[in-house]
Structure 1
Amino acid sequence: MHMYLGSLLFWQFGQAQFLLKQQVVLLYHWGSLANFTSFF
């Protein structure tokens, strides 16, 4: 049970980190949208 709880917390932490990373990437792209579009 303890290991299950630990893995659950670890998974939630990973999910939160993933979402945070995506938000940072989105904000970065929105901030440099002009450069982003001209880059491609």
Structure 2
Amino acid sequence: MKKILIVDDEPNIVMSLEYIFKKEDFQVYIARDGEEA
């Protein structure tokens, strides 16, 4: 399984990207800012 880290402080963007990548069989990790990433 491919993995991706999404870093963004906009919840709507994060949710959209998470949905798209999960549909493409990615394991999705989320961080809200650079420090958390």
Say which structure is richer in helix: 1
TM-score (norm 2): 0.41
| Bigger relative CO (Cα 8 Å, ≥ 6 apart) | 2
Structure showing greater Rg: 1
TM-score (norm 1): 0.38
Say which structure is richer in strand: 2
